[in-house]
Structure 1
Amino acid sequence: MIEFRQVTAYQQQTRVFDRLSLRIGPYERVAILGPNGAGKSTLLKLINRELYPVAQEGSYLKLFGSETIHLWQLREKIGFVSHDLQENYTPFTTALEVVVSGFFGAIGAHEHLQATDIQVERARETMRKVGIAQDDACLFQRLSTGQRRRLLLARALVHQPEALIFDEPANGLDLGASQTMLALLRSFCGEGRALIVTTHRLDEVIPDIDRVILINQGRVIADGLKADILTSKNLSELYQTKLNITEKNGWYRCWHD
């Protein structure tokens, strides 16, 4: 599904990745963990075509087997939700318009982008699925943080994509909204589709996730089965502080020693 081969990438003048190689297959459920500044956001921007790698011999980034996949095809195959999208979304767009905009890859409503009746009905159905259908006429700016996050999730899912990529799904949410969001992600995994979560928090690594990748300073420092990677030793090294990790019913927790 996603293949980085010796990829070098910059954010402005800063080199974030230097010859990064990484593969994620179809139907995988993966968590990518790392401290702030590790390269998680840059990784997502490369996948989402907001950023392009340096062109060099022997290097490529393939999405669904193609180096030149059309942006519209990519949007149909992968749904994206990020903190940047939530912060930058047009505030005076109604909730229904937010979800409908997912069909066009737009930010907000535009007169030249007219949804069909079928698209509007699918948008409403997706809103019902994430538990926010009752707010369809409410302006985006008047919704709570948790409601906005669920709305952007519905926007990402309106295409019924093969995969969902979610950047820090519970970031900034209160306890109730956080648990609701994680439950929605578990429901998505139950449909047999791929999930990639980027985070620096263990409580966002839901039990349905099988594989964990640790990155820091633009490098993959560990990659494998969740139980093998989420250890006290690995995470203490990743975050440069002594941590104790415990697991119960598939959920992982940590505390400072």
Structure 2
Amino acid sequence: MKRQLIVEITNVSAYREDLQVFDDLSFCLQPQQRVAILGPNGSGKSSLLKLISREIYPVVRPNSYVRLYGSETVNLWELRRKIGLVSHDLQTGYTPYSTGLEVVVSGFFGAIGAHTHLQPSPQQLDEARAAIASLGVSELEERMYQRMSTGQQRRFLLARALIHQPELLIMDEPTAGLDIGAAFQLLTTLRQLCRAERSLLLATHHVEEIIPEIERVVLISNGKILADGPKAEVLNSDNLSRLYGLELRLQQSRGWYRLSW
């Protein structure tokens, strides 16, 4: 039996404000698939994720659509239960005076920060604390978000993304702004999360962030997909030199990659 695609993008054009970011873009994502979207800054990685999370919409035209779970019309509340998102935009836009616990609880309501009219149930509080504990930051749950390190903030946003046990986890530049220790810790957590039966979509411009569990890699530049396929076939020196416009050499060790020139 053929499995329903989580994401099906076909012949899509899209804009962010007055800038066209895609023209005739096609992309799909299957259940339990782990995919890295790799490209330089401004290549369209974040815009692709925003198409999926319904933050931007495609131009309406014949034979062009974005389908999530087989439908072009998706209830946003239902979508939030199926897709967990961690992004730099979300992190920098968060209400600074929220506590760590409030950050996670806000995910039940699709809110950014604490709001007095949103009252979590005892069960929701228990589930939020369980997600926080699973990421090893329980001692910080009463600390204000603005007083946390970037790495600590990122872990609370990840807990927020996980409270519904989503089928798809989207990570946009997951280690941006993190020091080496915090980056390693976060990537280790992502590897652990890949053991569950969920899909992972990771957007990055660093091959070092492509964890061994990633199976498929998509190379994107100027809103165009340059290559899409199994990691072992797509990640090579020639493709990455073309992607970044430099003479690059790719090295691989025990499932991890790094670039040199």
Q: What interval of TM-score do these two structures reach, taking the shorter chain for normalisation? A: over 0.9
Q: Which amino acid aligns with 2:160?
A: R
Q: Which residue of 1 aligns with 2:124?
A: 119
CA deviation string 1:181-217 (max 9, x = no partner): 0011001101121100000001110000000000011
Residue 174 (structure 1) aligned with residue 179 (structure 2)? yes
Q: Secondary structure at the match of 2:136?
A: coil
Residue 240 (structure 1) aligned with residue 238 (structure 2)? no
Question: Between the two proteins, what is the percent identity of the paired residues?
Answer: 55
Q: Which residue of 2 aligns with 1:35?
A: 40
Q: Determine the C-alpha separation between the residues in 2 that align with 1:115 and 1:186.
A: 30
Q: Secondary structure at the match of 1:106?
A: coil
Matching residue within 22, 26, 32 for 1:21 = 26
Q: Determine the C-alpha separation between the residues in 2 that align with 1:22 and 1:93.
A: 37
Q: Determine the C-alpha separation between the residues in 2 that align with 1:204 and 1:76.
A: 26
Q: Secondary structure at the match of 1:213?
A: strand
Q: Determine the C-alpha separation between the residues in 2 that align with 1:229 and 1:212.
A: 6
Question: What are structure 2's unaligned runs of at least 5 residues?
Answer: 1-5
Q: Which amino acid aligns with 1:29?
A: R
CA deviation string 1:210-239 (max 9, x = no partner): 000000111111000101111000000000
Q: Determine the C-alpha separation between the residues in 2 that align with 1:255 and 1:69.
A: 43
CA deviation string 1:7-63 (max 9, x = no partner): 100111111100111111111000000111111111111111111110101110001
Runs of 4+ in 1 over 6 A off after TM superposition: none
Q: Which amino acid aligns with 1:219?
A: K
Matching residue within 80, 87, 90 for 2:85 = 80
CA deviation string 1:117-166 (max 9, x = no partner): 11100000000111111111000000001000001000000111111000
Question: What are structure 1's unaligned runs of at least 5 residues?
Answer: none
Q: Which amino acid aligns with 1:183?
A: T
Residue 107 (structure 1) aligned with residue 112 (structure 2)? yes
Q: Which residue of 1 aligns with 2:3?
A: none
TM-score, with structure 1 as normaliser:
0.99
Q: Determine the C-alpha separation between the residues in 1 that align with 2:238 and 2:24.
A: 26
Q: Secondary structure at the match of 2:249?
A: strand
